[in-house]
Amino acid sequence: MAADGRAESPLESVSRLVLRWLALPTPDLQTTLCDRNGVFLGRADFYWDEFGVAGEADGRLKYEDRDVLTAEKLRQEALEDPGVAIVRWGWRDAQYRPRPLGDRIVQAFERGRRRDRSGFPRQWSVRAS
């Protein structure tokens, strides 16, 4: 029941369990986000469409290579520019600070609600898988 083949790392699998333990809404996994013209912006490990929030669970080793870090920064900017709220976390958050992680995600949900209530249309879309 807890297994999901879309998880791309052990951290993503553990994160799903933590999100469930925190009683947060169930996110979609590996969601492709595009701009309003359908151009690929990026794929989110976790995505809550109701709030327009993406979650990214990555270990620190991923970013030891500066080029990988730079590419990830540009990808995050591409997702944030049209208004997607992003929450990032790593192993320490999932293992030792799950409640503060949950608080950060809930705060992002509220940012998404405020953005949507502002009357401006979302500047991104979700590509069907």
Whole-angstrom Cα distance, residue 65 to residue 2?
A: 32
What element of type H or E holds 29? Answer: strand 28-35
pLDDT value at residue 62? 62
**pTM of the predicted model as reported, rounded to 2 decimal places:** 0.89
Query: Dihedral through CA 120, CA 124, CA 3, CA 8, nearest 10?
Result: -130
Whole-angstrom Cα distance, residue 110 to residue 21?
A: 20
Give just the sign of the alpha carbon dihedral 106, 112, 114, 117: negative
pLDDT value at residue 58? 86
pLDDT tens sequence across 38-85: 999 999 999 999 999 999 998 665 656 778 788 889 989 999 999 999
